[in-house]
């Protein structure tokens, strides 16, 4: 006889912080903290790092612009794409739920702080997103 545990459904909360550290002509250094956790609380992934953007000033500014569909900067999309691979691998090793690869790309986000940073001032961006996805199915066991 086979038994199958009913898969749980998890929501994922994402908190992101981007902070400008250095700006020169053709170069921008931004530190980031990206936290992804589940509800109910099963796992929380937190990644910190530094992104260095180099190129023309208009190209750098384009990466800081807020996507009108998602209401978050393109730079945060790029950071999440890099972080997702690591998060997926860790979740697989730990046998925990993992966030979807398109977590930041779907839906609307109308949170304060989701505007594009400007000038030489310190930049902080805090976003929060929640998305519900089904958990990984549990393997079937014989009894």
pTM over 0.75: no
Q: Are 44 and 36 in contact (CB under 8 A)?
A: yes
State pLDDT tens for residues 23-55: 999 999 999 999 999 989 999 999 999 999 999
How open is the CA angle 53-86-72, to the nearest 5 degrees? 50
Query: Has residue 127 got a pLDDT over 90?
Result: no
Sign of CA dihedral 104, 109, 113, 115: positive
Give the 3-state secondary structure of residue 91. helix
- Considering the chain, what percentage of its residues have pLDDT values greater than 70? 68
Cα 117 from Cα 29, distance rounded (Å): 13
């Amino acid at each position: 006889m086979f038994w199958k545990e009913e898969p749980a459904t998890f929501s994922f909360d994402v908190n992101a912080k981007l902070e400008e550290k250095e700006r020169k002509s053709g170069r921008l250094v931004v530190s980031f903290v990206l936290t992804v956790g589940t509800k109910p609380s099963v796992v929380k992934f937190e990644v910190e790092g530094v992104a260095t953007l180099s190129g023309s000033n208009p190209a750098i500014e384009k990466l800081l612009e807020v996507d009108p569909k998602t209401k978050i900067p393109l730079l945060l999309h790029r950071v999440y794409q890099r972080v997702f691979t690591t998060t997926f691998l860790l979740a697989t090793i730990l046998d925990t739920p993992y966030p979807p690869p398109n977590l930041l790309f779907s839906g609307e986000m109308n949170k304060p702080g989701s505007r594009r940073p400007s000038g030489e001032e310190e930049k902080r961006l805090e976003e929060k997103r929640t998305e519900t996805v089904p958990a990984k199915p549990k393997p079937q066991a014989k009894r």
